[in-house]
Amino acid sequence: MSDWIEVGSVEDIPKLGARVVKTAEGDIGIFRTNDDRIFALRDSCPHQGGPLSQGIVHDHKVTCPLHNWNIELETGEAVAPDEGCAATYPVKVENGTVYLSLSS
């Protein structure tokens, strides 16, 4: 079962941007796309651990700020031809409030 944790409101995250949730197991990036979908990824690029939350968000992807890998927000998968995967976390939005679950 999931333990949903309230992390803030959708409005706290800029469109096409991200914010970080700090947890005991490390940082988690919470991303907001232009169509107001919210995604959560471990804030560590599968390439060399770059902070994905600091990248540029476009469509449902984020470009890592260190070496420009593109990561799918939905699955955490690197866009081909790069290979690798960032862990994803369940998120849900209810009445404009974002909830995160740490059971990845």
Residue 5 near residue 97 (C-beta atoms within 8 A): no
SS3 46: coil
Kindly list the residues in this chain that would bind ligand FES in the complex (CB under 6 A): 45, 47-50, 64, 66-69
Nearest residue (CB) to ligand FES, 8 versus 51 = 51
Nearest residue (CB) to other proteins, 75 versus 79 = 79
User: For residue 99, which of 38, 52, 51, 26 has the smallest C-alpha distance?
Assistant: 38
Nearest residue (CB) to other proteins, 17 versus 85 = 17
CB of 48 to other proteins, least distance (A): 8
SS3 51: coil
Residue 21 near residue 98 (C-beta atoms within 8 A): no
Q: Which two tokens stand for residue 101?
A: 């679950």
Which of ligand FES, other proteins, none has residue 13 at its interface (CB below 5 to 8 Å by kind)? other proteins
Which of other proteins, ligand FES, none has residue 45 at its interface (CB below 5 to 8 Å by kind)? ligand FES
